[in-house]
A = this chain, B = another copy of it.
């Protein structure tokens, strides 16, 4: 298996929660880890096939209410491979933040567009904090003794802290943008008056 390709490990990890179909894996991912990981079908299905070919997962066809499903399970070799990967230090990935890039060039942007972007981002992050809080509450209620719970919570906490930091930053930034806009207005008045 390649070094840089993390999708196989993400899928193996998902299979530690129990045997699942590709479709289910995606749903589970979206419901629990969307804020830090995602996979597309175009990636997911071929990789599952590969995992099976390499003996890291096994599959059996299942008939569920007339629908055909292909349910995958992690194998012993799969668990070992996952464990080895979990031990390796995470690779640093160069971030790309389009909002910051647009702000960085803010002086050359149409008036008010920076403010709009930041407002939209703030709203999105506020929604997210609510979402994280709900998720955490539901998790504690529905799986209070699940052995994975502490780990799931850590990732949720990460999301919450970052969303809160983002909101604070938005407020600070909106104030700075307002000041810039005011100074620009002043310059214009001074220049013409």
| Interface pairs A-B: 8 shortest CB-CB | A86-B109, A90-B98, A165-B165, A106-B151, A36-B100, A13-B105, A36-B97, A38-B94
Complex contacts, A117 vs chain B, CB 8 Å:
89-90
Q: Is the CB of B164 within 8 A of A101?
A: no
Q: Is the CB of A100 within 8 A of B165?
A: no
Protomer copies: 2
Q: How far is the CB of A70 from chain B (nearest CB, A)?
A: 23
Q: How far is the CB of A114 from chain B (nearest CB, A)?
A: 8
Give A75-99 as 1s and 0s: 1 = Cβ < 8 Å from B's Cβ atoms.
0000100110111011111111111
Q: Is the CB of A104 within 8 A of B162?
A: no
Given the interface contacts A87-B109, A104-B151, A151-B103, does A95 sit within 8 Å of B36 by beta carbon? yes
Chain A, interface size category, equals: 35 or more
A residues in contact (CB < 8 Å) with B: 6, 9-10, 13, 16, 32-38, 79, 82-83, 85-87, 89-110, 113-114, 116-117, 120-121, 124, 147-148, 150-155, 157-158, 161-162, 164-166, 168-169, 172-173, 176-177, 179-180
Complex contacts, A6 vs chain B, CB 8 Å:
96, 98, 101
Q: Is the CB of B168 within 8 A of A154?
A: no
Complex contacts, A165 vs chain B, CB 8 Å:
161-162, 164-165
Q: Is the CB of B148 within 8 A of A169?
A: no
Q: Is the CB of B93 within 8 A of A147?
A: no
